[in-house]
Amino acid sequence: MKALVIDDDEGIRWILDKVLQEEGLEVLQAGSIAEAEAALSEGGIGITFLDVYLPDGNGMDFLATGALTMPVVMLTAETTFGHAAEAYRIGAMEYLPKPFDLDEVRQLIQRVRPVKAKAKVATGVKQDLIIGRSQAMQNLFRTLGRVAASDLTVLITGESGTGKEMVAKTLHERSQRAVKPFIAINTAAIPAELLESELFGHEKGSFTGADKTREGRFEQADGGTLFLDEIGDMPAALQAKLLRVLEEGRVQRVGGSLSKTVNVRLLAATHQHLPQKIKKGEFREDLYYRLNVIPVHIPPLRERRDDIPELANFLLDRAVEELGMNAPILLDDAADLLCKHDWPGNVRELKNVMRRLAVLTPGAAITLSDVALALGNVDNMQKGEETLSDAVTRCIRQYMHQLGYAEATNMHQYILEQMEPPLLVLAMEKCNGNQLKVADMLGLNRNTVRKLLRKYDIDPQYFR
């Protein structure tokens, strides 16, 4: 059997040639799509290893043309779920991030003969927010890539802040339901007496305050995806009603006598250990098995520290883009300190820290000291305690030093305009975007807060 390796990296082609020949395959090599097309004309190729980025085109696009009718393994240095999901969706047998494990290549060869290539569907690759080069994340990408296009129910588990809703959104965006609604609801954030109405809707007059008929989230998500976050906190009575909806595919509004058919893909998430709640009688076992068709676990950040530098830089770039600022460089020793932190708040905490660093870093680079201050680790650096006044003095001194012999003009206004945006950002972050609370915290009136947000182009929606 022949194998075709399409990659512009001669080193990758060499190592794959060696391994594939050891497995008894005849190997053809191509450094571009044009060379690949010439090799394909010879026929008899049983498996193809295809790089994403090639000198004369994109490997994903080439795969989507249907020219490769044999099993295809995508090779890429990208580490986002989007590439994995897209590869599987357009027909790849497997997706291998570089650098790959040679034993995985050998195992793929053993799988070739019974595998048939899937139908190809051309589509663009969306920007992805789920990032990771670690083995744990790559395994997660493979699982998500295989189930994204299906209608299977997925139970997403992981600690708070790991990105469970982001995974759910990405599954929806990669599914056939992407053009339909994605409706998310946190079942722990809604009082138990209102949750039934929120999920299933209600008829006018069905309870005090029900002054009009209202669709529930199941009806709103019809044809699309419904994401139930913190499903472990759902009251027992509602668990039974949810199970009935999942089994029958029909919902009945509170106070209504008729039921309505809904076509909804359900995704659920929890940070709790549901089997333990089942033992305590706090969660229905039959509902658990109905939800846990495809279990997906997102590892905490402390268990994939190798991903932190790449993720930190990505979140830093995103923060400065959204805040309209210049991007400071994250120095290696500063990144090392980020890797040593345990991140109890996981990716959510890292996102906030990188946003904090984006607005508070006084120079063009994020230093070890900057990260220590952002993490509250000044004592660990044996620098002693630093008051707010000391920190401001240090930053202004550094700015004046950067001025050198240049004449400073209107420095008071300049310093004020440098201080106000991070103060507003941190206050908005602390108050979850509630401008009234921000005004109280800062001792300003609400109109002033609104004017300052507009002045510095800070979007309140970002903090909610």
Quickly state the pLDDT bin for 123 (edges 50, 70, 90): very low
Taking Cα atoms as reference points, which of 124, 115, 110, 125 lies closest to residue 69? 115
Question: Do 434 and 355 fall within a single domain?
Answer: yes
Listed range (146-160, 166-180, 199-213, 303-317) with the worst mean pLDDT: 199-213
Question: Do 114 and 252 fall within a single domain?
Answer: no
**pLDDT at 33 (0 to 100):** 92
CATH number of the domain where residue 38 is located? 3.40.50.2300
Taking Cα atoms as reference points, which of 355, 370, 276, 286 lies closest to residue 314? 355
Quickly state the pLDDT bin for 111 (edges 50, 70, 90): low
CA distance 11 to 170: 33
- 292 belongs to a structural domain: yes
Question: Do 320 and 184 fall within a single domain?
Answer: no
Phi, psi of 412 (to 5 degrees): -60, -45
Domain boundary among 120, 144, 168: 144
Q: 419-427 long-range CB contacts below 8 Å, 24 or more apart?
A: 419/392, 420/452, 420/456, 421/323, 421/359, 421/456, 421/458, 422/356, 422/359, 422/360, 424/449, 424/452, 424/453, 424/456, 424/458, 425/323, 425/355, 425/356, 425/359, 425/458, 426/356, 426/359
User: What six digits make up the tokens of 338?
Assistant: 């980020």
- 304 belongs to a structural domain: no
pLDDT of 163 above 70? yes
Instruction: Provide mean pLDDT across the span 264-281.
Output: 94
CA distance 407 to 391: 24
Question: Do 205 and 103 fall within a single domain?
Answer: no
CA distance 203 to 274: 33
How is the beta sheet containing 182-186 ordered, strand by strand? 182-186, 225-229, 265-270, 154-157, 294-297
Q: Which is higher by pLDDT, 204 or 167?
A: 167
Q: Where are the alpha helices (DSSP H) in 294-385?
A: 308-323, 332-340, 346-360, 368-375
Question: Do 197 and 338 fall within a single domain?
Answer: no
Question: Do 241 and 121 fall within a single domain?
Answer: no
Instruction: Provide mean pLDDT across the span 273-279.
Output: 93
- 44 belongs to a structural domain: yes
Q: What is the DSSP letter of 116?
A: -
pLDDT of 328 above 80? yes
Q: What length is written for the chain?
A: 464
Q: 103-109 long-range CB contacts below 8 Å, 24 or more apart?
A: 105/16, 105/19, 105/20, 106/19, 106/23, 108/47, 108/73, 109/3, 109/20, 109/23, 109/25, 109/47
- 50 belongs to a structural domain: yes
Residue with the two structure tokens 């975007």? 433
Listed range (27-31, 94-98, 323-327) with the worst mean pLDDT: 323-327
Q: What is the DSSP letter of 97?
A: E
**pLDDT at 97 (0 to 100):** 81
Is residue 81 classed as helix, strand or coil in its secondary structure? helix
CATH number of the domain where residue 372 is located? 1.10.10.60
Task: Find out whether 150 and 105 touch, Cβ atoms under 8 Å.
Answer: no
Cα angle 383, 389, 393 (rounded to 5 degrees) comes to 80
pLDDT digits (tens, 9 = 90+) for 385-398: 556 676 677 677 66
CA distance 51 to 188: 44
**pLDDT at 69 (0 to 100):** 81
- 303 belongs to a structural domain: no
Instruction: Provide mean pLDDT across the span 254-281.
Output: 91
Is residue 356 classed as helix, strand or coil in its secondary structure? helix
Task: Find out whether 114 and 122 touch, Cβ atoms under 8 Å.
Answer: no
Q: Distance of alpha carbon 253 from its chain centroid, rounded?
A: 34
Domain carrying residue 170: 150-297
Percent with pLDDT over 70 in the chain: 88
Question: Do 135 and 193 fall within a single domain?
Answer: no
Question: Do 365 and 424 fall within a single domain?
Answer: yes
CA distance 228 to 165: 9
Q: Where are the alpha helices (DSSP H) in 174-214?
A: 192-200
Task: Find out whether 363 and 401 touch, Cβ atoms under 8 Å.
Answer: no
Domain boundary among 297, 329, 362: 297
pLDDT of 182 above 80? yes
pLDDT of 263 above 90? yes
Provide the number of structural domains found in the chain.
3
- 212 belongs to a structural domain: yes
Question: Do 163 and 132 fall within a single domain?
Answer: no
Question: Do 158 and 133 fall within a single domain?
Answer: no
Q: Distance of alpha carbon 247 from its chain centroid, rounded?
A: 30
**pLDDT at 127 (0 to 100):** 44
Whole-model pTM: value is 0.60
Kindly report the average pLDDT of the chain as a whole number: 83
Instruction: Provide mean pLDDT across the span 345-352.
Output: 90
Residue type, 359: V
CATH number of the domain where residue 262 is located? 3.40.50.300
- 302 belongs to a structural domain: no
Angle between helices 346-360 and 308-323 (to 10 degrees): 50
**CA pseudo-torsion sign 99, 104, 106, 109:** negative
Question: Do 138 and 171 fall within a single domain?
Answer: no
Domain boundary among 144, 162, 190: 144
Question: Cis before residue 422, ω within 30 degrees of 0?
Answer: no
Residues in a beta bridge with 227: 184, 267
Cβ-Cβ contacts under 8 Å for 268 (sequence gap 6 or more):
153, 154, 155, 156, 227, 228, 229, 231, 291
Question: Do 350 and 367 fall within a single domain?
Answer: yes
pLDDT digits (tens, 9 = 90+) for 397-433: 666 655 554 456 677 887 888 788 888 888 888 888 8
Task: Find out whether 217 and 226 touch, Cβ atoms under 8 Å.
Answer: yes
- 55 belongs to a structural domain: yes
